[in-house]
Structure 1
Amino acid sequence: MLPFLQSHLPLIAGVLLTLLVIGVRAASSDAQFRKELGGSLGFLMTFLVLRVVDVQFGESLHPRVLPLLHVAWMLTFAFGSIRAAMSLAILTATRLGIRTAPPKILRDVVEISLYVIAVVPILRAELAIDLTSLLATSAIVSVVLGLAMQDTLGNLFAGLSLQLERPYQVGDWVTIKEITGRVVQVAWRATRLETSRKEIITLPNNVCSKEAVKNYSRGGQPVGMDLSFHGPYDRAPNEVKEAVLEVLEQVPLVLGSPPPMCRSVGFEELGIRYQVRYFVEDYSQADAVMAEFYTRIWYRFRREGIELPAQRKLNMSLGAPGSEFSEELVADMLRRVDLFKVLQEEERTKLRREMVARRFARGEHVIEQGEKGNTFYLVGRGELSVRTGGVEVSRLSRGNYFGEMSLLTGEPRTATVVALTDVVLLELGRPVFARLFEEHPELAPKLSGMLAHRRMQLEAAMAASGETLPITEEVDILGRLKGIFRLD
């Protein structure tokens, strides 16, 4: 090896290797790989400078300086070659699919070992320094250093063990010693986690190797999340479970497979205890999904009249909640609804008293296209989007209404209505209209004409979005209406 290094061939080999490293580094888009090649490129460029100085000015240098110059360019050439060879070998192996990239600590140990192997013969040949005998005669120093560096060496070997077993790697979400965060670095001495609050927590590797590690990010598998709450005893468990599962179906980022589940797991003093489990694709989404679920389940329970035990205690101390809107405001909105203009003021007053306020959270689907419907909604507060085939065709705000076509004719819902903001809707069910027709049979022909007109407006809006509806004449609408409400 030394005769080769002492000839001019290292200069040629160094130039070729430097050009190879520059070309591969320029062609790679991997930032980490480019950084590693940058280190080897620094060694090789330093070697070229030192070797040129040796060739041009070596004979004129002081006899004591020349050996140091030789050692310098030999070491930089050896270090640059070792680092470049390691980087290129790892790149080739990963690109060919032979294996994944080895742990960084293991690579560092191998590189340092190769550096030591290169240093020993060079120092022995050029400076007559025998490191092997020096190390052999320094047993006392070794013992002292070993005792002083006991914790450091423990962390080092623990880090090697973690890298070989790989219970986690950079980018994984883990829980170690009740600390949850994303792994941002696995170094010689410690592992660093970044929490959801952007805190960097450093855990010694010997601690990580002794503690149980919960990894949420391995194998590309969905991550299951659990939460629990207490429900009232006066509502059937299946009713509560159905409401929970329907809410989870609409929460963004909750996976449909594996499907969410809701189980009743015990009878406790506060109420029936329910456990909810759902799955997300990435653990980083867990907090946002949990917050969205709790928000939407509050709205759903409020609409269904399901009072949580703590909420019931609060209602008993504060009294029943007041009406969402003043009587004058609701009366004014009813006067503006086309369907109810044919009614007398007294009848509209009855409708006002029969209306039920329903709250929906931003993002919730109030009705779904293609479903059957038996409710009519009047918008009291907020804004909603009307969508057909996923395309928005209109928006609704205070005073607008929807749902009457399906309720009165029995046809499936022709559009999906989504809350763009928190909304409060005033709801009327089919029994209310049944009472109206029973008390005022003359309303059916009048309402069928208004429905036909509304149908033409809806067809025009859907035609603009590329959707089509079957043509329904006024007579057909009246027939459907009479059939549903059993009118003569």
Structure 2
Amino acid sequence: MTGLLDSPWFYWAVGVAIGFPILLIVLTEAQNALRRRNSFLVRPVYLLRVYILPLGALLLLLVQGIQVSGETTPVRIVATVFGFVVLVLLLSGLNATLFQGAPEGTWRKRIPSIFLDVARFALIAIGVALIFAYIWGANVGGLFTALGISSIVLGLALQNSVGQIISGLLLLFEQPFRLGDWVDTPSARGRVVEVNWRATHIETVSGLQITPNSVLAGESFTNLSRPPGAHVIAISTVFALNDPPDDVCDLLTRVAATLPHLRPGSEPSTLPTGGTNYTTTIPVRSPADDASARSMFLRWTWYAARRAGLHLDEADDDFATGERLTSALRVIAPTLRLSAGDESHVLGHARLARFAAEETLQFAGELPTRMSFIVDGQVRLFVSADDGAVIPVRTLGEGDFIGQTALTRETVSTSARAVGEVTMVHIDRECIEELVARNPLLLQDIGRTIEERRANARKALAAAGE
């Protein structure tokens, strides 16, 4: 027994037999705790528990417990595998501790991936060199000397190309833009979709523009996405010289305020810029909305200017003729229960108007001052949920109407939006009051419509909340 206790391998064997299961339990519990916290250190601990700990115990038993020489091939193989796993652990731990959990805005978060790749390559090269030098006895000094001399020669021969690469890498390190940002460069305007060590890929209207990073580093450009929520577009329009500037500014601002691309909590503005020119400034949610917001604003302005009697691009509008208005009244005559005498009376209180596709004709909660009847096209009624979601209620067609609560002096419960181009007849509230006074059935029809639409709006909201 005394000889056994005096043997050097005995204590190593007992230490491995006791320490291995204890460390295995501790690492297992640590891994479970880190997994519950969604920590980036789960993978390094997993490597330590599954690979490094068993390989380290096996290596200790071979060398210290069984007293196998470190020069034998089995020991060298186990030591090599152990060294490679330790190298993987260092790479994984370095990435998890320094970069994956880095706070936004710090240098660790901004560092380009190319620098990480170079650091990984250098660490792997050093680790492999140490493994071959200390485990297999290889002479790696000459190899590093040759690589160093070759690097100097290549650097001198390719100094211009290397200089461009370095400029690009410095640009990446500074990170004046990120993936998804919209940039305006002298050569392209679009969204950044890819950034690598050599070039930046910008998605434009005409295709994918690939710009070398060294070019971006040597010229000025605009990041349209920074600061967030500060992007605006300016749209110029021309009206007739006789159009009142205040009326024009009010019209343009009102149209811009109804755009779905408008940034929440912001307000557009319009200023006359001299002569017949006006500039409308519209804060939009992101540069991605530029083209669609500009197109929709100009299209809606064309219709709104004609409804208001203003002259966009100094053009006159001859749509609302007496003949068209008479034809329109014949379309809605059954809805209003009009007689021949009533049509001639309503003619003096009616006005024909057109609306663009997707234009909002009525807002929930507003108090209408007139009733509007659909002559051509379709109108969709909808309500908005608390989270801003649009919930459709029903679709109106030819002969239907909106603004029915103008008679009761109540606010409407639904919003209305044109599905396509819509032609409508506006009739003043006073004229409608005269019609219902002479025709009680018309009053019943309007009252029934008011109740039905309120009920439909409540059902739509209830169904959306389920």
TM-score (norm 1): 0.68
- Cα separation, 1, equivalents of 2:53 and 2:218: 44
Distance in 2 (CA, whole Å) between partners of 1:394 and 1:160 is 57
Aligned in 2, Cα 1:309/1:387: closer, same or farther, shift over 3 Å?
A: closer
Rounded Cα–Cα distance in structure 2 between residues aligned with 1:299 and 1:327: 17
Inter-CA distance 37–258: structure 2 relative to 1 (3 Å threshold): same
Of 19-28 and 242-251, the range deviating more from structure 2: 19-28
Cα–Cα, structure 1 residues 185 and 144, in superposed 2: closer, same or farther, change >3 Å? same
After superposition, give the CA deviation of every residue in 1:22-74 in whole Å (9 maximum; x if it has no partner): 989988989xx89x969x97xx989999x999x99xxxxxx999999689646
Worse-superposed segment, 379-388 or 65-74: 65-74
Q: CA deviation at 1:245?
A: 1.4
User: By how many angstroms is 1:227 displaced?
Assistant: 2.2
Shift of 1:81: 2.1
SS in 2 for 1:234: coil
Q: 1:258 to 1:228 in 2, by over 3 A?
A: same
Q: CA deviation at 1:311?
A: 4.6
Mapping 1:360-371, distance limit 5 Å: 360-371=355-366
Stretches of structure 1 that go unaligned for 5 or more consecutive residues are 1-6, 57-62, 438-442, 468-488
Percent of pairs identical after alignment? 20
Q: 1:149: Cα distance to partner?
A: 3.5
The question of whether the paired residues in 2 share the 8 Å contact of 1:231 and 1:307 is answered with yes
CA distance in 1, matches of 2:364, 2:191: 41
Match of 1:294 in 2: 298
Cα deviations by residue, 1:307-342 (Å, 9 ceiling, x for unpaired)? 332756xx8xxxx5585986774353253143533x
Query: Could you tell me which residue of structure 2 aligns to residue 237 of structure 1?
Result: 245
Q: Which residue of 1 aligns with 2:192?
A: 183
The residue matched to 2:197 in structure 1 has which SS? Answer: coil
Match of 1:168, SS state, is coil
Quote the Cα distance in structure 2 between the aligned partners of 1:178 and 1:207. 10
User: Which ranges of structure 2 fall in alignment gaps of 5 or more residues?
Assistant: 1-11, 63-70, 386-390, 459-466
Residue number in structure 2 paired with 1:336: 334
Q: Residue by residue, what CA displacement relative to the aligned partner does 1:401-445 show, whole Å, maximum 9, x if unpaired?
A: 344652xx58244344513423100223468x49x97xxxxx684
Using the TM superposition, give the Cα deviation of residue 375 of structure 1 relative to its aligned residue in structure 2, in angstroms: 3.3
- Say yes or no: does 1:456 pair with 2:447: yes
For 2:379 and 2:79, locate their aligned partners in 1 and report how far apart those are by CA, in whole Å.
77
Counterpart code for 1:287: A
| Residues 212-221 or 292-301, more deviating | 212-221
Q: What TM-score do the two structures reach when normalised by structure 2?
A: 0.71
Letter in 1 for 2:424: L
| 1:212 to partner: Cα distance | 1.8
Distance 1:215 1:75, change over 3 A: farther
Aligned to 2:397: 397
When the two chains are superposed, the root-mean-square deviation of aligned CA atoms in Å is 5.0
CA contact 1:171–1:183 (8 Å) conserved in 2: yes
- How far apart, CA to CA, are the structure 2 residues paired with 1:23 and 1:219? 40
Residue 482 of structure 1: aligned partner: none
- Alignment partner of 1:113 out of 106, 110, 122: 122
1:484 corresponds in structure 2 to none
Q: 1:41-440 to 2 correspondence within 5 Å?
A: 73=81, 76-90=84-98, 93-94=101-102, 101-103=109-111, 104-125=113-134, 126-131=136-141, 135-136=144-145, 141-195=150-204, 199-267=207-275, 272-309=276-313, 311=315, 329-338=327-336, 340-341=338-339, 344=341, 348-349=343-344, 351-352=346-347, 355-386=350-381, 395-403=395-403, 406=406, 409=407, 411-422=409-420, 423-429=422-428, 433=431
Output one character per residue of 1:170-210: Cα deviation in whole Å (capped at 9) or x when no partner: 2322233332233233222222233356x443322211212
Residue 438 of structure 2 corresponds to which residue in structure 1?
A: 446
After superposition, what is the alpha-carbon deviation per residue over 1:266-317, rounded to whole angstroms, capped at 9, x for unaligned? 33xxxx22222222223223322222222222221222232332756xx8xx
- Specify the code of the residue in structure 1 equivalent to 2:256: L
